[in-house]
Amino acid sequence: MRIFDHPAQLLIIALLVVVLFGAKRLPDAARGLGRSLRIFKSEVTELQNDDKRREPAAPATSPEPLEGRVVDDKARTASEQRRDV
């Protein structure tokens, strides 16, 4: 069963909202919601524009190998092994 099958259900929900929040507060709430959505939209478009403005990094001609250290469980000290337990 879908909740909004009949238009009467929407009317009842709208009536309940008006009764709960009052007719005087609804325009202010809608105005605040509209401002918030406008700000959110502008921030999203600004983020997208920032991504487009950034230039891609120059591709490396040959990737350099990564250097690191190999961790061997047998080579760990006794204190390190106790910490893991």
* 47 within a domain of the structure (yes/no): yes
Q: How many CB atoms lie within 10 A of CB 37?
A: 10
Whether 14 is in a domain gets the answer: no
Is 30 within the bounds of a domain? yes
The domain total for the chain is 1
Q: pLDDT at position 37, please? A: 95
Q: For position 76, what pLDDT does the model report?
A: 60
What pLDDT does residue 50 have? 84
What is the model's pLDDT at position 21?
83
In a domain, 28, yes or no: yes
Tokens of 16: 């309940």
5 in a domain, yes or no?
no
What is the rounded CA–CA span in Å between residue 80 and residue 56? 43
How far apart (Å, rounded) are the C-alpha atoms in residues 44 and 39? 9
Contact in structure between 21 and 29 (CB atoms under 8 Å): yes
Question: Looking at the domain assignment, is residue 68 inside a domain?
Answer: no
Q: What is the 3-state secondary structure (H, E, C) of 21-41?
A: HCCCHHHHHHHHHHHHHHHHH
Ranges in the chain, pLDDT < 50: none
What token pair was written down for 3?
Answer: 């909740």
| pTM for the predicted model, two decimal places | 0.43
Residue 36 located in a structural domain:
yes
Host domain of residue 28: 24-54
